[in-house]
Amino acid sequence: MRKRGDDNLAGPSMSIIHLSQGLDASRRISFQMPKWLLIMPCIGLLFVWTTFPLLTTIYYSFQRYNLLSPMMTGSAGIENYAYLFTDPALYAAIANTLILVGSVVFVTIAVGTLLAVLFDQDFPGRNIARVLAISPFFVMPTVAALIWKNLLMHPIYGVFASIANSIGLAPVDWFTQWPLLSVVIIVSWQWIPFAALILITAMQSLDGEQMEAARMDGARGIVAFRYIVLPFLARPIAIVVLIETIFLFSVFAEILVTTGGGPGLETTNLTYLIYIKAILEWNIGGASAAGIVSIVVANVVAFILVATVARNFAK
């Protein structure tokens, strides 16, 4: 612990610490909880909480287990998986999940960055505008989906249809013509404030003098943004990508309320596919197999993200 030369560098408080340590450390240092006792509740509980259901799901995924036909039980071997992998619904759901996550992450970061840059300027009423802009973050998914589906996107009575009619355009039947895009719009609306919140916070710590110096050198607008702001925001953007991806994998209520996964399978993501199997078909075995596949997909994506993003962050 004590290295040679330390004492020369240490301030007064450090030498006092060293002194007391040297004199009667055994008497002065009171009871310290062992580290494992501090860590155990969190790690242990989290381990049990995640491992037990995971193992149970793996077990069920190899069982014949349908609540509608309780007589059919026993080992199913890889039957559930074999059936799942021949089901086109699985591939549609994986594709929809990735499209949904990817587009929402992209849109929220683009708009969030724009908001962060704008709210960095000191314009009148900035604080009120900021409060309004981040408000969607507090709206629960069911409510968000219901407002957008009915009040805004309804092809006859919705606000968008009114606007389209008033300027002489044919109103769009959002959930029939562009179902996945509609879900992307709703989910993006909910998550733009999250990206904006983190990026606004980050902008606040951007060095004003550096910006000023760049301005003196003639870097303005796009150039200043490209070479000073954007590199500075790289780390917070990486965090937004990571956290949003985790949450967006489980988008559920928005789909349940608006499209019910349809038309066809066009808005069925993995979460919704499993929900259909488990709750509507009572097929626990099949749902568990799909659950395991979704966990694998999530972890592949997570692995890629962690390798590129999070290691960097945790340093």
Partner 1 sequence: MLSARQRTTLYSGIAGWTLALCLFFPIFWMLVTSFKTEAEAIGGMNSLFFVPTLENYTAINERANYASYLLNSVVVSFTATVLALAIALPTVYSMVFFPTGRTKDVLMWILSTKMLPPVGVLVPIYLMFKSVHLIDSRAALIVVYTFGNLPIVVWMLYSFFKDVPGEIIEASRMDGATTLQQIRLILVPLTLPGIASTGLLSVILCWNEAFWSINLTSTAAAPLTSLVASFSSPEGLFWAKLSAVSSLAVAPIILFGWITQKQLVRGLTFGAVK
Min separation Cβ 65 and partner 1, Å = 9
| Shortest CB 78 distance to partner 1, Å | 18
| Least distance from partner 1 to the Cβ atom of residue 146, Å | 6
Which of 8, 26, 32, 86 is close enough to bind partner 1 by CB under 8 A? 32
Place of tokens 């007589």: 71
Q: How many Å apart are CA 67 and CA 282, to the nearest integer?
A: 5
| 192 in Cβ contact with 112 (< 8 Å) | yes
* 136 interacts with partner 1 by CB under 8 A: yes
Burial class (CB in 10 A: 0-12, 13-18, 19+), 268: buried
Task: State yes or no: residue 107 binds partner 1 (CB under 8 A).
Answer: no
Minimum CB separation of residue 140 from partner 1 in Å reads 4
Interface segment toward partner 1; rule CB under 8 A; list 85-93, 102-110, 173-181, 298-306: 298-306
- Rounded to whole angstroms, the Cα distance separating 149 from 310 reads 36
Q: Which of residues 170-189 bind partner 1 (CB under 8 A)?
A: 189
Q: How many residues of this chain interact with partner 1, rule: CB under 8 A? A: 112
* Binding-site member from 72, 140, 230, 304 for partner 1 (CB under 8 A): 140
- Judged by beta carbon, residue 180 or residue 203, the one nearer partner 1 is 203
> Distance between CA atoms of 56 and 287, rounded to whole angstroms?
12
CA trace torsion 114, 119, 124, 126 (10° rounding):
110
Burial class (CB in 10 A: 0-12, 13-18, 19+), 283: buried
Q: Applying CB under 8 A, which of residues 5, 9, 12, 13 lies at the interface with partner 1?
A: 13
Choose which of 118, 172, 181, 211 interacts with partner 1 (CB under 8 A): 118
Sequence-distant (≥ 6) Cβ neighbours of residue 16 within 8 angstroms = none
Give the residue among 245, 243, 242, 238 at the shortest CA–CA distance from 98: 245
CA 176 – CA 183 distance, rounded (Å): 12
Q: Which of 114, 169, 223, 280 binds partner 1 (CB under 8 A)?
A: 114
Interface map 247-266 toward partner 1 (x if CB under 8 A): --xx-xx--xx---------
Q: x/- contact string, 194-233, with partner 1 (CB under 8 A)?
A: ---xx-xxx--x--------------x-------------
